[in-house]
Amino acid sequence: MHRRTVIASIGATVALSTLAQAQTRTAGSKERIAILGTGSLGSTLAECWGRAGYPIVLGSRTPQDQRVTSLLAKLGSTVSAATLSEAARQASIVVFALPWPAVRTLMPSIGDLTGKIIIDPMNSMKWVGAYPHPPDIATSVSEELQSLAPGAKVVKALNTPTAANMRDPKRAGGHVSIPLAGDDVSAKAQVAALVTQMGLEPLDVGPLVAARYIEAMLRLSAGYVAYTRGKYFEYHLVPVKT
Ligand SMILES: NC(=O)c1ccc[n+]([C@@H]2O[C@H](COP(=O)([O-])OP(=O)(O)OC[C@H]3O[C@@H](n4cnc5c(N)ncnc54)[C@H](OP(=O)(O)O)[C@@H]3O)[C@@H](O)[C@H]2O)c1
């Protein structure tokens, strides 16, 4: 290849990678967040982080659908919508606000998530008699998700409170803890910062294997709702000074 052509091609590659990096940030330099799912949790997180100034791209099967466009009109100009794979491509933080059973099937079409932070707020359970039990997986949803996206940094977080109390923690008395777990320390710190911006209280409880117990916390609170026929609680974890 001619030297000038090589230089031009290197220049084009650098320009493309700079463009890709720029696409995950905005002028104010807050990281763009992709939220896959526009339901109760996805729309709540978009509202909370949109309010805090983060550019948000919502991933949907039907981004042109009237339900999604009305949601965008409500959420304001910092929130856009795209297909699931396009939303994930545009951001370095990707939230799976989706039903876990759908994710296994969807994963191959979502694209390469290598290097990205995945926030996993998903819950899955099977009811046996009066109480919810673990789903038909031996580990946790987060560990399964990590094995489907081995190059990503999965952080379990935000699966325990209700979306309404995430939007307004004062409804639950003001102190709502978010236990989070993951194998990448700096990814957990970034997720903890996002949680704090929502007015919630993050607590790093360990590596990704701890997701098994965080998911069990939700099964306990869901079981309590069934047991009491409608009462519920949120978790407030109080680290004791030693
Ligand atoms: N809601 C809460 O209070 C809360 C709190 C903590 C954690 N979570 C967890 O968050 C996740 C989402 O819960 P949610 O309450 O937001 O559910 P939801 O209101 O039913 O919304 C689910 C979203 O997933 C999309 N979806 C469903 N099946 C899909 C598929 N096969 N392919 C692509 N997209 C699909 C739906 O898209 P369409 O609109 O196109 O159907 C919708 O946007 C669950 O794993 C749940 O356990 C929820």
Within 13 A of 146's CA, how many CA atoms are on the CB side?
17
Distance 44 CA to ligand 1 centre (A): 11
> What does 151-171 look like in DSSP terms, one character per residue?
TSEEEE-S-SS-HHHHH-GGG
Average pLDDT over residues 227-232: 97
**Percentage of the chain with pLDDT > 90?**
86
* Range list of H helices, the chain: 3-23, 40-51, 66-75, 84-90, 100-110, 141-148, 163-167, 185-197, 211-227
In the numeric block, which tokens belong to residue 92? 């370095």
Say how far apart CA 22 and CA 12 lie, in whole Å.
15
Strand order in the sheet with 117-120: 79-83, 56-60, 33-36, 93-96, 117-120, 153-156, 177-182, 201-206
Closest-CA residue, ligand 1 atom 32, reads 102
SS3 145: helix
Please give the pLDDT value at position 1: 40
Closest-CA residue, ligand 1 atom 25, reads 37
Closest-CA residue, ligand 1 atom 45, reads 122
| Non-local CB neighbours of 125 within 8 Å, separated by 6+ positions | 132, 133, 134, 135, 218, 219, 222
pTM of the model: 0.91
**Ligand 1 atom with the shortest distance to the CA of 162:** 3
For 18, 112, 169, the CA distances from 143, given in Å and listed in that order, are 32, 17, 28
Distance 102 CA to ligand 1 centre (A): 9
Distance 40 CA to ligand 1 centre (A): 7
Please give the pLDDT value at position 89: 98
Ligand 1: which of 47, 61, 70 to mutate, judged by most atoms within 8 Å of the beta carbon? 61
Average pLDDT over residues 47-55: 96
Query: Nearest CA to 156 among 191, 186, 131, 130?
Result: 191
Distance 41 CA to ligand 1 centre (A): 7
Q: What is the band of 84 on the pLDDT scale with cuts at 50, 70, 90?
A: very high
